[in-house]
Structure 1
């Protein structure tokens, strides 16, 4: 299967990552194990989690990471995957209070290592930024953790490009490891801005896109399938959408993109869901969509999408017509 090489690392990855926010909760442990096995046996290499996942549920704290840890122990597949997880997210009850002190970062990382049952995390992400904290201080903490053997590479989730450039300029000046990639929300669908409730979340815009094109920095795109907007619309129209999905994605731009995605789906003989992911994978810089798959069919379609490449003309056509 075709893979993506990320510069500045020794990583060669299938261009799709498995998101596990609901694993061990909405997706049962047994089903989670089956989906993880299917993804890895099909060539998938990145399993993505976060310390904060399921904190919104009673007794849900750490359940995603614990489920992955239990699967790793049962399957013996640690050497076949890159473990990706995120820390330093604000407490959900106090989202206005950042948690990027060295103590916060280390505490969350140690909890993740214990939950996952591993000595080292391959890809570690800071889940939110703290703009009034010097990026250099944060980079020094992360580099210390690399030297201690607790993480291999580190990235940032929901950081703006100006802060990424500040951090990586510091790393270059000091001759230390820099952020290898960024995670932000991006899909083929245009987001209705008024529907964004969490203002600490970064959604792809022109400035961020220009940064990634210019720097060729890798991007892990979350909510990469727009909560199933395109296949659900294709199958059942607007009535098939959840209210939250409709509020977030239903607009004229996306209706036009749906029509063009369906046209390319027919031309290439792949599901429309594959076109949605291929749009990201076919960008002029490394993009790895993070998929939120709850069924074996969704895993199968995502792995199929990893093989689909669109021409620059097709990508532009999807966007603009």
Structure 2
């Protein structure tokens, strides 16, 4: 799998990031460990989890599973471990205190200090400087990332000299926070594209596979209710045939085209976060880490249609 040296202080990052939100919840721990082993064997080295993922009785089963994999495989020194905290922004008076508690809990669940710790949500009720200064005061060697922050707030954070990376929703099937039913999310649009092109802040793209939107439609499989609600729109529908055509041309599955679309972005560094309900699904998505789409191929996938909500 391709790697890129993007962030100072981190080893080169693999083109595709392993999403761990479903581990211990949607899939069993044993299957999760098998997926992590497959990912590592394909050259993947970035794991993305969160304090709130598969949270049961105060324990993040996702983080615990990642920690177990790191210990059992002995590959901690080869992996870039990323996790998130500070998801609950109400009441805002407790936001910073809870964020610190989340960080310490994550270190305990993972059994290691994460390489990157993200604020899972922004808290617009608080000044950016106050948030950044407080968070950098308790990080034990972790780099700070910001998830679901608007360009304007991220720009303010950059003035503090801290955030190294961003995480927002980004896929070939455009969506909006409204379609997700969550106003605290940030989805890629033209404003965000301009910001990331200018700033060159690396972007981790969650829901990069759009819940299997393209793979399922090409295979003639029904979409889930969430996939329909969030990603089924005229722009996405128009792109299905292009994904299919390009996949045949390059002799890779549709899932590989979808992930390589993110990983091949030319204007700013971007990394798709992927997951799978089976090893076969995951393997198809990981193939995108070996595909480099040209600017013309990316333009072909996007066509002349603008992003939803612009």
| TM-score, length-scaled by structure 1 | 0.89
- Determine whether 1:164 maps to 2:154: yes
Pick from 144, 148, 151 the counterpart of residue 154 of structure 1.
144
Partner of 1:175: none
Alignment deviations for residues 201-239 of structure 1 (CA, whole Å, 9 cap, x no partner)? 1111111111001111100000000000000000015xx
Which runs of no fewer than 5 residues in structure 2 stay unpaired?
305-310
Pick from 286, 290, 298 the counterpart of residue 303 of structure 1.
286
Contact 1:195 1:247 in 2 (8 A): yes
Partner of 2:130: 137
Shift of residue 100 of structure 1? 6.8
Shift of residue 13 of structure 1? 0.8
Deviates more, 1:242-251 or 1:17-26: 242-251
Quote the Cα distance in structure 2 between the aligned partners of 1:313 and 1:281. Answer: 15
* Aligned-partner SS, 2:228: helix
**Structure 2 vs 1, CA of residues 60 and 304 (structure 1 numbering), >3 Å: closer, same or farther?**
farther
Shift of residue 152 of structure 1? 2.6
Deviates more, 1:287-296 or 1:155-164: 287-296
Alignment deviations for residues 51-70 of structure 1 (CA, whole Å, 9 cap, x no partner)? 01123xx6474111111122
- Determine whether 1:250 maps to 2:232: yes
Quote the Cα distance in structure 2 between the aligned partners of 1:142 and 1:255. Answer: 42
- Computed over aligned residues only, the root mean square deviation of the Cα atoms, in angstroms, reads 1.8
Partner of 2:119: 126
Pick from 250, 257, 261 the counterpart of residue 275 of structure 1.
257
Shift of residue 144 of structure 1? 2.3
* Regions of 4+ moved over 3 Å: 7-11, 58-61, 95-102
Partner of 1:103: 97
- Determine whether 1:72 maps to 2:70: yes
Partner of 1:62: 60
Shift of residue 2 of structure 1? 1.9
Shift of residue 186 of structure 1? 0.6
Matches within 5 A, 1:145-294: 145-146=138-139, 150-171=140-161, 178-191=162-175, 194-236=178-220, 240-284=222-266, 285-294=268-277
**Structure 2 vs 1, CA of residues 293 and 151 (structure 1 numbering), >3 Å: closer, same or farther?**
farther
Partner of 2:307: none
Alignment deviations for residues 70-118 of structure 1 (CA, whole Å, 9 cap, x no partner)? 222222221121111000111xxxx643477442222111100111111
Quote the Cα distance in structure 2 between the aligned partners of 1:167 and 1:140. Answer: 10
Quote the Cα distance in structure 2 between the aligned partners of 1:63 and 1:99. Answer: 28
Partner of 1:53: 53
- Determine whether 1:312 maps to 2:295: yes
Contact 2:10 2:80 in 1 (8 A): no
**Structure 2 vs 1, CA of residues 80 and 11 (structure 1 numbering), >3 Å: closer, same or farther?**
closer
Quote the Cα distance in structure 2 between the aligned partners of 1:131 and 1:223. Answer: 24
| TM-score, length-scaled by structure 2 | 0.92
Quote the Cα distance in structure 1 between the aligned partners of 2:239 and 2:45. Answer: 30
**Structure 2 vs 1, CA of residues 100 and 283 (structure 1 numbering), >3 Å: closer, same or farther?**
farther
Quote the Cα distance in structure 2 between the aligned partners of 1:99 and 1:32. Answer: 36
Shift of residue 151 of structure 1? 3.5
The total of aligned residue pairs comes to 303
Contact 2:177 2:186 in 1 (8 A): no
Deviates more, 1:126-135 or 1:187-196: 187-196
